[in-house]
Structure 1
Amino acid sequence: MLPNWKTTRLTGLELTGKYLEPRARIPPKYSHEDWTYNNNIKFRITCDQERLAERVVEESRRTVDERKDTTKNWQREVEHHLRERASEIRFLCDELNRQKKTALLEDEALSVYRDRVLNAIEFLKEKSLAINHRCLLLREGRIGVDLCDDEVDRELRQELKVIKGTQCLMDKVIKEATEQIRMLRSTMYLLDKDLEQKDVSLLIDEKNLKLRETQQNLGVGQDLTKHNCQYTLHEWEHKTHQNLETNSKQLNSASQLRAYIDLILKQFCEDMQNQTDRTNDAFESRIKETKYVKQCLENKHNDTLHHIEEVQRNMQQLEKEIADAHRSMTLCQTRLSNRARRPGLELTCDTVQDALYHELEALKATLCKLKQNLMENKASLRYLLHVQLMQEEEINIKANTIKIDEIDCMTIRQALKYQSF
């Protein structure tokens, strides 16, 4: 311990006395021990401060080296995680792009299938239904007994039933296809949104990978370092996988719907073509039957005309025979009248008189029978003429039916060709 020396130093004049007059004093002198002690103290303080400075410098250097190592280690760790994260995002982006491309192709394919169904509905409306109604309306133009509920009418009604049932089924398929396209586009929207966000995130991470400490303008902008993340990694993965899974389900549903539409269109074409063929077969059978009846009526009409001519000739012959019978009877009556003027005993009933009486009776009977035959021929002629008119009317009815079925209906039904839509 240093002694507690108290020293007083004056660097100038010391003011004393009443009037404060200056008085010179000699500065005190230190001892050699003081001088030595003071030097030792100063050396000691200097050494202590130097050692302290060395420790501080060494600690600083160690801290700097540790900071550099720690920074480099963490930067390598962060860059490694950034590269892993970027690789993971790229993989998911590739998967999302692949799913999106597949969804776009499926959307286009399903749109084509929907157009096929619309074409089938349009064909049903513009062709099948219109032609069926036209045939039913044309067949109402049949006349007479031909306006009957035949096999053709039944097949046309069955065809109409099949058309309406098919239309209902096609309308249902159109609604399903439209809804499936909407759902598919909804999933594509989610994929686009997810892709857009992942692209931005990938750009940010790639930019972070390229950043170096020596670059300028670091830290420029809004400080968001204290901005907390809103979602966990599990939520991030779950959302992306959910989008992919939803899209896969919609793709599967769309594929199944396309297969169903293919089956429906194929079945539609087969059913409609089969029903059309059955209706056409009924038309052809009815036309063939009507033509056969018409031919039979025409043959009978020719026979009737022949019988009419024969009856007319027979009537002419009967009229001639009746005229001859009248002349013969007049001759007989004249002879009897002449013999009635015989005089006296000559007015006897001899063989001549008996023969004349018998001739007259025979002529009367023959004339009566001839007149009766003439009346029967006239009645038969009237019946034959009536039959002729009836036959001609029936022939016209059959011709009208054949025209309606063969020319009007079958001509427009040739447009009913059900091919693949």
Structure 2
Amino acid sequence: MSSTLKLYAESVLPVPPPPSRYTLNEWYLNNRVRNRTCLDQQQLADKILAECEREREHITEITLMNKREVDHKLEEKIGDISFNKGELIRQRKEVCLEIDNLSIYNERIVDALAFLKNQALLINKKCILFREERLGIDLCHDDVERELHKETEVIESAMNLLCRIMEQGNEQLRRLRSTTYFIDRDLEDKDNVLQVDGGSLSINQNSMNLSMYHGFTPLDPANITVEEADAFTKQNIARGANEINSARCLRSYVNTMISQVMDDLRGQANLVNESFRRRIDETKEAKVKLEGFMALAHTRLGRRAQRPGIELCRDLVELNLVNEVRELRDNCATLQQLLAEAQASLRYLLKTQIQIEEDINVKTNSLKIDEVDCMTLRQGLDYHNY
């Protein structure tokens, strides 16, 4: 391209066409349209503002209503939890009281076992050992020995029975303590819930330290229904009532068994004592009879000592009489020793009987004090929120 043409192309500029001309009517029409549009937009804006105000008031009313409903539900929840807490506390007191009562009964069983082992059985064994020192023909299986061995069996059976009852008592105590453990856990949870719900009820929309949650994890992690929570509390209360009833039945059974055991032991001790009395009477009678024969032999020896002259010799009659006197003397000594041993055993048995009766009286008095006096008095303890 030549330089002339280049200069011509650079000097030529495009010129816009002239603006279109409007008529006066178009101008008036355009103004009227714009005014109408402004009025319509203003009316629409007023409608939107009024609708926003109505919706704001409606939402505010719903929000306040929902808050009042939540507050009411919180108050109901706090009341229900407080009621259940009071029931749990009352049941726990009864369970603890039953633990104390059952512990006292277990101590009674321990005392009874200690008495049977350290006194009754020991005295019985000593009586059997003493009677093993009988001499000669008197070392026989008489009624006294049979009753003493039977007494041993009765004492050992009573000890085994009391041991089994004590095991049942220990198991019942374990179950009662387990019940208090679950009740304590439930009470601790209810205390925490009362603090949380009480704190939630005390705050409002104008309280300080309110916060917004911007996470993605749901704020409702609860997966236990209200019915399940109430059932758990009712189960703890029902469990406490069942264990209390079981413990009371066991205490009644302990009373019956202790009375029956002591009656059996007392009856057997009376049988042994009666056997001793009969044996002592038989021994005394035999001793008296032997002493009669001794007097007869002495009389015969005295009369034969008056034989005259050469007739006063040691013939067979003389030898037999002397031998008879010696044997009678030995037999009398044996019977005398057996009588002393029987009387000593009888004294031991009488002492045992007295100790048993004293122990029964002591336990009867303790039972009256604990079960009648104290428990009747403690029924007046009614702790409640004044």
Please state which band the TM-score falls in when normalised by the shorter chain. Answer: 0.7 to 0.9
Is the alpha carbon distance of 1:132 and 1:47 closer, same or farther for their aligned partners in structure 2, counting shifts above 3 Å?
same
Residue 120 (structure 1) aligned with residue 57 (structure 2):
no
Q: Contact between 1:131 and 1:413, CA under 8 Å: does it hold in 2? A: no
Q: Which runs of 5+ in 1 are unaligned?
A: 1-16, 323-370
How many angstroms apart in 1 are the aligned matches of 2:212 and 2:115?
Answer: 67
1:2-41 to 2 correspondences below 5 Å: 36-37=28-29, 39-41=31-33
Residue 385 (structure 1) aligned with residue 322 (structure 2):
yes
Deviations 1:145-171 (A, max 9, x none): 211111110110110111121122112
Q: Contact between 1:103 and 1:251, CA under 8 Å: does it hold in 2? A: yes
- Identify the residue that residue 10 of structure 1 maps to in structure 2: none
1:341-352 to 2 correspondences below 5 Å: none
How many angstroms apart in 2 are the aligned matches of 1:48 and 1:308?
Answer: 167
1:148 pairs with one of 108, 132, 140: 140
Q: Contact between 1:132 and 1:160, CA under 8 Å: does it hold in 2? A: yes
Q: CA deviation at 1:214?
A: 0.9
Please state whether the residue corresponding to 2:141 is helix, strand or coil. coil
2:257 pairs with one of 244, 261, 264: 264
Is the alpha carbon distance of 1:273 and 1:220 closer, same or farther for their aligned partners in structure 2, counting shifts above 3 Å?
farther
Report percent identity of matched pairs: 30
Is the alpha carbon distance of 1:82 and 1:146 closer, same or farther for their aligned partners in structure 2, counting shifts above 3 Å?
same
Q: CA deviation at 1:77?
A: 1.6
How many angstroms apart in 2 are the aligned matches of 1:410 and 1:398?
Answer: 18
Please state whether the residue corresponding to 1:290 is helix, strand or coil. helix
How many angstroms apart in 2 are the aligned matches of 1:124 and 1:210?
Answer: 66
Please state whether the residue corresponding to 2:206 is helix, strand or coil. coil
- Identify the residue that residue 41 of structure 2 maps to in structure 1: 49
How many angstroms apart in 1 are the aligned matches of 2:337 and 2:235?
Answer: 70
Is the alpha carbon distance of 1:200 and 1:289 closer, same or farther for their aligned partners in structure 2, counting shifts above 3 Å?
same
Q: CA deviation at 1:295?
A: 3.9
Residue 216 (structure 1) aligned with residue 208 (structure 2):
yes
Q: CA deviation at 1:99?
A: 1.3
Is the alpha carbon distance of 1:270 and 1:412 closer, same or farther for their aligned partners in structure 2, counting shifts above 3 Å?
closer
Q: Contact between 1:280 and 1:410, CA under 8 Å: does it hold in 2? A: no
2:82 pairs with one of 90, 96, 112: 90
Q: CA deviation at 1:139?
A: 0.6
Q: CA deviation at 1:19?
A: 6.1
Rg comparison, structure with higher value? 1
2:195 pairs with one of 203, 206, 217: 203
Q: Contact between 1:177 and 1:257, CA under 8 Å: does it hold in 2? A: yes
- Identify the residue that residue 298 of structure 2 maps to in structure 1: 305
How many angstroms apart in 2 are the aligned matches of 1:175 and 1:151?
Answer: 36
How many angstroms apart in 2 are the aligned matches of 1:413 and 1:48?
Answer: 124
Q: CA deviation at 1:55?
A: 2.3
2:58 pairs with one of 47, 54, 66: 66
2:222 pairs with one of 217, 229, 242: 229
1:403 pairs with one of 331, 337, 340: 340
1:219-298 to 2 correspondences below 5 Å: 219=211, 226-298=219-291
Q: Contact between 2:269 and 2:349, CA under 8 Å: does it hold in 1? A: no
Q: CA deviation at 1:287?
A: 2.2
Q: CA deviation at 1:227?
A: 3.0
1:107 is matched by which residue type in structure 2? I
How many angstroms apart in 2 are the aligned matches of 1:293 and 1:403?
Answer: 14
2:65 is matched by which residue type in structure 1? N
Is the alpha carbon distance of 1:140 and 1:116 closer, same or farther for their aligned partners in structure 2, counting shifts above 3 Å?
same
Please state whether the residue corresponding to 1:388 is helix, strand or coil. helix
Q: Which runs of 5+ in 2 are unaligned?
A: 1-8, 364-386
Q: CA deviation at 1:42?
A: 4.6
How many angstroms apart in 2 are the aligned matches of 1:182 and 1:175?
Answer: 11
Q: Contact between 1:138 and 1:409, CA under 8 Å: does it hold in 2? A: no
1:186 is matched by which residue type in structure 2? S
